Amino acid sequence: MNPNGRIPVLVDRSHPTAAQPNGFPVFESAAILLYLVQKYDKEGKFTFESGSDEESQMMQWIFFAVRFCSSFDWACLLTIVRTSMEE
């Protein structure tokens, strides 16, 4: 479902399409969060007013977390640990 062959993937079975009759797939963490808010949070309980400073801060943290988590991998961790142990 994810063209990158990774998780997470959300399949919204309440939203079938002609191309995806079993449900609409959404992949990548930030895209899933934004999809859920835009599609299902009609009362704005889980987000902020569009265009507000709070919404901007929320978006900054979402994209920071996605970038940090995707760039941090085991090879990086092993390099840090290995370097620390050699010192």
Comparing 18-27, 40-49, 65-74, 75-84, which segment has the lowest mean pLDDT? 75-84
Of 31, 35, 40, 23, nearest to 4 by C-alpha is 31
CB atoms within 10 A of CB 13: 10
Give the domain extent around 52.
Answer: 9-86
Instruction: Give a yes or no: residue 45 inside a domain.
Output: yes
Taking only the tens place, the pLDDT of each residue in 1-17 is: 666 676 788 999 999 99
Please say whether the beta carbons of 12 and 5 come within 8 A.
Answer: no
Q: What is the mean pLDDT of residues 35-45?
A: 89
Taking only the tens place, the pLDDT of each residue in 16-39 is: 999 999 999 998 888 898 999 899
- Residue 2 three-state SS: coil
Instruction: Give a yes or no: residue 47 inside a domain.
Output: yes
Q: Considering the entire predicted model, what is its pTM?
A: 0.67
Please say whether the beta carbons of 41 and 29 come within 8 A.
Answer: no
Instruction: Give a yes or no: residue 2 inside a domain.
Output: no
